[in-house]
Structure 1
Amino acid sequence: MNSLSERRALLLRMEEARRQTQHQLDLIDRQIIRRMTAVIPQLHPRRNSYRHGKAPEPATFLARYRANLAAITAERQQEIDALSRKLARQDRAISDLRERHGAASWS
Structure 2
Amino acid sequence: MTPEKTYQYLTELAVKTGISIRYEDLSNSELTTKSGLCSIKGRFLFIMDVSKGLTERITLLSETLSQMDLGGIYVLPAIRELLERSHHSRRDNSIPRQKA
Report the TM-score range of the alignment, normalised by the length of the smaller protein. Answer: under 0.3
Question: TM-score by structure 2 length?
Answer: 0.25
Query: Higher strand proportion, which one?
Result: 2
Whose RCO is larger (CA < 8 A, sep 6+)?
1
Query: Higher helix proportion, which one?
Result: 1
Question: TM-score by structure 1 length?
Answer: 0.23
